[in-house]
């Protein structure tokens, strides 16, 4: 088997719930040794967050299973003097530390970046928080929905009937996690060239806002406030969601030739020469008139029929799938987006693998999410702690 990109890189993962674990999942899938450092009582809060109560009680909730494959787990009370000392020993040989506490927490523990960099100058330290380490809102609590609201993302969603509207999944947490993983990889590359470690400050609010770049550009450069478009695409028409005989279809006729092909496929040639629809910007301004004309024809046949007919004419179109159907569609199965892993006490579960497909250094799901403290003996034993010393520390609540 080929060497993995991050083979030999050790990551100490102090993160909880979503943004941080999503970061370290990607590092783990790329081959890094990710050691989850969890509190001895109940570990990562995600262990108790899930739809199945029995798994929550086992501290293996579905939320935890979703993003902790390929990781090791140790328990460590970093508030205790002995716990701090053990963590510093782990840092000496670590490459990366990732945490998503509120700003200042690690400094108060005496485990902030400056303190750890004295032990290991090559250390890359990534701090993920809602608002970043500095600024007027830095110390405010933040969850995904709070960031969705403050970023403007919720204000862009929906239409006049349903507004504001939250995205149906924790988009800010996950995008923040991807941003942090990208930043860690960049810092590792910089260290390869210079030998220098560094501190990385990732804010969920910062991370999500550039994703609205086109909308922001229209406002900042064009002076145009965003309009509530619902399922319509502001860049073109017809481009959005339309009713069919048995449901709905997405059509994205973003080019003039695609618009003309829509008219051909729907057998509506008169629309091509209608002055309300001939030119792109005029067509966009008249989309409310255009949509019913298209739907009158689209509702005469099924979504599947129209998808095949439109795609055959190079007009991007697709079904709107429920989540289960989306996960089971042939293309997703072909790309092996989901991987199966056997979890002791749970059974076989499906999780997401690395979706970037590397030709020479593929990312793989190798081991299931760890039970709490599963690797204490492995990691602490490697530090030179005997079984009796570990047992004593466990009695004290240190591990």
* Contact criterion met (CB below 8 Å) for 228 and 163: yes
Q: For the chain, which residues make up each domain, given as ranges?
A: 10-210+334-396, 248-319
Q: What is the pLDDT of residue 383?
A: 94
- Read off the pLDDT of residues 106-119 as tens digits, 9 standing for 90 and up: 999 999 999 999 99
Q: pLDDT tens digits for 141-158?
A: 999 999 999 999 999 999
**Under 8 Å CB-to-CB from 251, ≥6 apart: which residues?**
238, 239, 240, 242, 262, 310, 315, 316, 317
- Digit-coded pLDDT (tens) for 63-76: 999 999 999 999 99
- Among 361, 360, 358, 389, CA closest to 376: 389
Exposure on the CB side of residue 87, measured as CA atoms within 13 A: 29
Sheet holding 248-252, edge to edge: 239-243, 248-252, 317-319
Give the CATH fold of the 10-210+334-396 domain: Rossmann fold (3.40.50)
Q: How would you label 171-196 residue by residue, b for 16+ Cβ within 10 Å and e otherwise?
A: bbbbbbbebbbebbbebbeebeeeee
Q: Which whole-number Å values give the CA distances from 49 to 18, 124, 349, in the listed order?
A: 11, 29, 16
Shared fold status for 10-210+334-396 and 248-319: no
Alpha helices for 249-302 (secondary structure H): 256-265, 270-273, 280-285, 287-298
pLDDT averaged over every residue in the chain: 96
Contact 49, 56 (CB under 8 A): yes
* Distance between CA atoms of residues 226 and 234, nearest Å: 9
Contact between residue 97 and residue 125 where contact means Cβ atoms under 8 Å apart: yes
Give pLDDT, residue 1: 56
Mean pLDDT of 382-391: 94
**pLDDT tens by residue, 208-239:** 999 999 999 999 999 999 888 888 888 899 99
Backbone angles phi, psi at 77, to 5 degrees: -85, 95
| Interval 250-295: pLDDT, tens | 999 999 999 999 999 999 999 999 999 999 999 999 999 999 999 9
Reported as a single tens digit per residue, the pLDDT across 165-208 is: 999 999 999 999 999 999 999 999 999 999 999 999 999 999 99
3-22 exposure pattern, b = at least 16 Cβ within 10 A, e = fewer: ebbbeebbbbbbbbbbbbbb
Joined tokens for residue 317: 């179109």
The active-site residue, picked from 173, 232, 246, 274, is: 173
Question: In whole angstroms, what is the distance from residue 159 CA to residue 254 CA?
Answer: 21
**Residue % of the chain over a pLDDT of 70:** 100
What are the pLDDT digits (tens) for 41-89? 999 999 999 999 999 999 999 999 999 999 999 999 999 999 999 999 9
Q: Evaluate whether 293 touches 271 at the Cβ level (below 8 Å).
A: yes
- pTM here is 0.93
CATH of 248-319 given 3.40.50.1000, 3.40.50.620, 3.40.50.2300, 3.30.1540.10: 3.30.1540.10
Buried b (16+ CB within 10 A) or exposed e, 354-379: beeeeeeebbbbeebbbbbbbbbeeb
* Pairing assessment for the beta strands 198-203 and 124-129 based on DSSP bridges: parallel
Q: Which of 1, 25, 2 is nearest to 11 (CA)?
A: 25
Question: What is residue 383's three-state secondary structure?
Answer: coil
Q: For tokens 């970061």, what's the residue?
A: 23
How many other β-carbons are positioned within 10 Å of the β-carbon of residue 53?
10
Active-site residue flag, 54: no
The candidate with the shortest Cα–Cα distance to 78, out of 90, 66, 70, is 90
Question: Which residue bears the tokens 């003097």?
Answer: 81
pLDDT tens for each residue of 123-136: 999 999 999 999 99
């Amino acid at each position: 088997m080929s060497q993995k990109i991050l083979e030999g890189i050790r990551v100490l993962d102090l993160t909880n719930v979503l943004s941080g674990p999503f970061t370290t999942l990607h590092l783990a899938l790329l081959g890094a040794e990710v050691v989850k450092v969890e509190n001895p009582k109940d570990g990562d809060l995600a262990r108790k967050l899930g739809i199945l109560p029995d798994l929550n009680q086992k501290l293996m909730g579905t939320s935890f299973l979703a993003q902790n494959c390929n990781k090791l787990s140790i328990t460590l009370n970093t508030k205790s003097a002995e716990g701090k000392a053990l963590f510093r020993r782990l840092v000496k040989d670590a490459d990366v530390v990732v945490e998503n506490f509120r700003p200042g927490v690690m400094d108060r523990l005496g485990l902030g970046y400056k303190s750890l960099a004295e032990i290991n100058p090559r250390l890359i330290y990534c701090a993920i928080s809602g608002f970043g380490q500095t600024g007027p809102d830095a110390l405010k609590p933040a969850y995904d929905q709070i960031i969705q609201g403050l970023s403007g993302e919720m204000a862009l969603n929906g239409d006049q009937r349903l507004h504001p509207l939250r995205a149906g999944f924790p988009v800010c947490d996950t995008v923040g996690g991807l941003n942090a993983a990208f930043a860690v990889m960049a810092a590792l590359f910089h260290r390869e060239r210079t030998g220098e470690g560094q501190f990385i400050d990732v804010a969920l609010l910062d991370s999500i806002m550039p994703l609205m770049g086109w909308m922001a550009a229209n406002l900042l450069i064009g002076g145009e406030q965003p309009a509530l478009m619902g399922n319509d695409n502001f860049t073109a028409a017809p481009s959005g969601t339309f009713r069919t005989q048995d449901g709905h279809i997405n059509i994205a006729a973003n080019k003039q030739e695609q618009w003309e092909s829509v008219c051909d496929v729907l057998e509506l040639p008169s629309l091509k020469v209608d002055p309300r629809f001939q030119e792109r910007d005029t067509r966009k301004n008249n989309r409310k008139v255009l949509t019913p004309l298209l739907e009158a024809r689209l509702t005469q046949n099924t979504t599947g029929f129209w998808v095949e007919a439109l795609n055959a004419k190079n007009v991007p179109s697709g079904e709107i799938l429920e989540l289960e159907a989306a996960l089971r569609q042939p293309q997703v199965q072909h790309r092996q987006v989901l991987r199966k892993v056997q979890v002791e006490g749970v059974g076989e579960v499906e999780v997401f693998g690395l979706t970037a497909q590397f030709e020479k250094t593929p990312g793989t799901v190798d081991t299931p999410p760890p039970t709490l403290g599963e690797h204490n003996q492995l990691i602490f034993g490697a530090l030179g702690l005997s079984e009796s010393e570990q047992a004593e520390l466990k009695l004290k609540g240190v591990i």
